[in-house]
Every structure is written in structure tokens, then in C-alpha cells.
Amino acid sequence: MPRYARHIYRDGPHNPFPGIKVLERRLGYAIPHQLGSNEGLDMPHRALSARFGNAVSELARGYGDAEAMGVRQRLSAALGTPLEALLVDAGADSLIALALRATCEAGSPVVASAGTYPTFGYFAVGQGCTLHEVAYRDESGLLAPDLKALAEAANAHSAQLVYLANPDNPSGHLYDDAAIAGLRAALPAECTLLLDEAYHDFRPDADALSAGVAWPGVIRLRTLSKAHGLAGLRIGYAIAEPEAIEIMHKVRIHYAVSSLTLAAAETVLDHPAETREHVDAVIARRERLAGWLRELGADVPVSDTNFVAIRLPEADMAARVHRELLEAGSLIHRPPHPALGHVLRISAVEDALRPGRLTVLEKVLRTQ
Ligand SMILES: Cc1ncc(COP(=O)(O)O)c(C=O)c1O
């Protein structure tokens, strides 16, 4: 079983439009007269300038840097990761799709936890993969992906890809590096571990040296949607061995990340102190929310993310709370997978802590 989809081992496909920014870097000088890329307007769109300002309409007018060099350079400096081990794409979701495209073919077996972040399974099945799911560890004081069961299923089915969110969504559970290394070691050699680290920035050890390391056989995904507040602009990055990055580039939608998004990402990455401030505030709110819910008698597993999970005794109860809150105008999350139907997830936003906002849940917890 090869590590990547078999058709990718051929020479090519080669990106037909690496773009002007890439060419300028290769030539070592700026090209003053750009007459060949059919971008459309000579001038920025006036209505766009009026609404968003000239900076936005100027950025909108041209294709961005397909190699996201400015973003990768900043990430490389912050994480100590070599440039060739970093790939930028349109959010962690796009990177999940890209990892699937690079490693799997129709029929490829893939493994995930039943009830984890569902986009992985959605994309995997949409690509024709065979999805094998394993149950969570749902024990007193612990709700977490079952690493042993993931490894067993990967070996039993000769999986091409194993998906793990760490910290996990929706449980909030974090495994340390040693546990992840143990999982990697227990997987078949040619199986890739797709490690979704969308909530990485909320880990207590987010700045550890290991945070930027490309582990062999692992594709680590991160996003700027959470701690950096760019969910609507769509940007995330992968850390992986250069060979894996090269392979992913072969099948990547090369202009998926807009010029505006790249510029916004460069801006927030240039201001890490502000990001730290936001993350600290989220963590403090999460702990206030978890503390309040626990005082009401809720079963709230430890979370290292920007949300808290609550385990209710029954799925019916969780469905009712979810429905009645929505009727009252508040949308919390209930995982769509029946395996975690008894779980509710609430984002650590100030609005969740406003008196009366979660009355339906409060009443259910008080009468338990
Ligand atoms: C585990 C996990 N992965 C990926 C994503 C999506 O991230 P992005 O906005 O970068 O696509 C989310 C968003 O909630 C998530 O929880």
C-alpha cells in the first residue's frame, strides 16, 4: 500500500499557473508591467472602494500569492518550522480535503472516531473512501477519542488515513505529544495520521518547541479561524514533511486563498500579542462557563479548546435542550452523530454567560 494516491506518483501534474508573485521571486525582481493574467479591471471597483476602502479593493483586484510566502515566512519564524514543511490553504477544512485527495483513492479505508468533527467523514465519504468509525472513551470523568481503538481499526482495515482532532471537537480533550507519538507508532507504516490541530492555540503548551515540528507520517493542520478571528476569510496551514507538502501541492487548488485573506493573515501574525490577549480571554471565559455549569451539577469534561462540552444522561434530553434553546433564539451545538447525541457543546463567548441565556439548560440541570 503506497502512502499517497497511486496516480500522484507519476511526473506531474504541474501547476500551470504558479502566478506572478512566484515568478517574481524566481527572477529576483518585480515585474512592472503585468499584462498577461487577465485580471479584468484597470482600476479597483469604485463601489467596493466606497464600502471597504481602497486597500481592500486593490487587494481584491489581483490574484494572490499561490505560495503564500508572506504567511509561511511569518509562521516559519514563529514556529521554527522550515518553509518547505508549511502549506497554506483555505482553512483546516480545505486542508482535510487536500490531505484526502493526496492520500486516498475511491475505496481507500480511513478511520475516525464516531462523533468527532464530522467534516472529515463527510469529505472522506464524498471522495469515495470507506469510513470506519470507532467509539469514544465515554467513561466517568473522561470523554476522549480512543487512541488504542483507532490504531486497532487502522491495522484491521489497512487504513490509508486516520483522523484525530487534538484537542478534540466536540469533547475538548487534549492528548499530549507522547500519546500522539504512541498512536503514530501503532499505525501501519504507510498510513498517514491526519492530526487536526484546529484548537492548538488554546493548548496550555501551545508555544512548546514541538508545536512546529513536522512529525514523520503525520499531517498536522491548524487554522486562523479560532484564535486569530479569521473564520470568514478562510485560511489555515499544514505542517508536514516536505515530501507530503510537495505531494499535496500537486492536487491543491492553487488560488484557493485570496489576496485579501493572505494580507489579513500577515497582519494578525504580525501582532501575536493581541492574539495572546484574545486567547487568554477565551480561556478565562471557558473556565467561568465550565465552573458555572459544574456548580449546576453538569458533567463537563476538561476542555483545552474555546468551548465546553456537557454530557447529559440521555440523548433525548440533549435533543430537547438543544431544540428549546433554539426556539428561544440561542443556538448551541449538538453533534449530529448518534454516538454523541447526549453531548452538547457551548462556545466560550460572553453571550453564553449572560443571565437567562441558557435558562432551558439550567432548569434541566437543576432538576437532574
Ligand atoms: C476540529 C476542527 N477542524 C477544522 C475546523 C474548521 O476550521 P476552518 O475554519 O479552518 O476550516 C473546525 C471548526 O470548527 C474544527 O472544529
**Domain parsing of the chain, residue ranges:** 6-19+63-270, 273-366
* pLDDT at res. 74: 98
Atom of ligand 1 nearest to the CA of 116: 1
- Domain 6-19+63-270, second-level architecture: 3-Layer(aba) Sandwich (3.40)
* pLDDT at res. 39: 83
> Does residue 223 line the site of ligand 1, with CB under 6 A?
yes
> Does residue 230 line the site of ligand 1, with CB under 6 A?
no
What is the maximum span of the chain, computed from C-alpha positions, in angstroms? 72
Mutate to test the pocket of ligand 1, among 113, 122, 225 (most ligand atoms within 8 A of CB): 225
> Does residue 65 line the site of ligand 1, with CB under 6 A?
no
* pLDDT at res. 18: 86
Alpha helices, DSSP H only, in 62-215? 69-79, 91-103, 119-126, 147-156, 177-186
* pLDDT at res. 12: 84
Pick from 229, 316, 213: which is nearest to 271 by CA? Answer: 229
Whether 222 contacts 198, CB under 8 Å:
yes
* pLDDT at res. 9: 87
Q: Does domain 273-366 correspond to CATH entry 3.10.105.10?
A: no
> Does residue 196 line the site of ligand 1, with CB under 6 A?
yes
Q: Which amino acid is at 206?
A: A
CA dist., res. 151 & res. 186, Å (int): 6
> Does residue 71 line the site of ligand 1, with CB under 6 A?
no
pLDDT, one tens digit per residue, over 319-353 is 999 999 999 999 999 999 999 999 999 999 999 99
Place of cell 501575536: 272
Atom of ligand 1 nearest to the CA of 117: 1
Rama region for 333: left / alpha / beta (φ>0; ψ in -120 to 50; rest): beta
CA dist., res. 237 & res. 212, Å (int): 11
> Does residue 169 line the site of ligand 1, with CB under 6 A?
yes
CA dist., res. 237 & res. 217, Å (int): 17
pLDDT, one tens digit per residue, over 131-188 is 999 999 999 989 999 999 999 999 999 999 999 999 999 999 999 999 999 999 999 9
Pick from 84, 114, 366, 125: which is nearest to 248 by CA? Answer: 84
Whether 325 contacts 361, CB under 8 Å:
yes
One pLDDT digit (tens) per residue for the chain, 368 residues: 799 999 998 888 888 888 899 999 999 999 999 888 888 778 889 999 999 999 999 999 999 999 999 999 999 999 999 999 999 999 999 999 999 999 999 999 999 999 999 999 999 999 999 999 999 999 998 999 999 999 999 999 999 999 999 999 999 999 999 999 999 999 999 999 999 999 999 999 999 999 999 999 999 999 999 999 999 999 999 999 999 999 999 999 999 999 999 999 999 999 999 999 999 999 999 999 999 999 999 999 999 999 999 999 999 999 999 999 999 999 999 999 999 999 999 999 999 999 999 999 999 999 88
| Per-residue CA distances from 310 to 61, 226, 294, 335, 358 (Å) | 46, 21, 9, 11, 13
* pLDDT at res. 99: 98
Whether 313 contacts 342, CB under 8 Å:
yes
CA dist., res. 341 & res. 126, Å (int): 23
* pLDDT at res. 218: 98
* Per-residue cell: 280: 487568554
Distance 75 CA to ligand 1 centre (A): 19
Q: By alpha-carbon position, which residue is closest to atom 12 of ligand 1?
A: 198
β pairing state of 192-196 and 218-223: parallel
What residues form DSSP beta bridges with 309? 345
Per 3-state DSSP, the chain is made up of helix, strand and coil in percentages (nearest 5) of 45, 15, 40
Strand locations in 250-333 (E): 307-311
> Does residue 41 line the site of ligand 1, with CB under 6 A?
no
* Per-residue cell: 107: 475505496
Whether 189 contacts 217, CB under 8 Å:
yes
Whether 190 contacts 1, CB under 8 Å:
yes
CA dist., res. 211 & res. 203, Å (int): 10
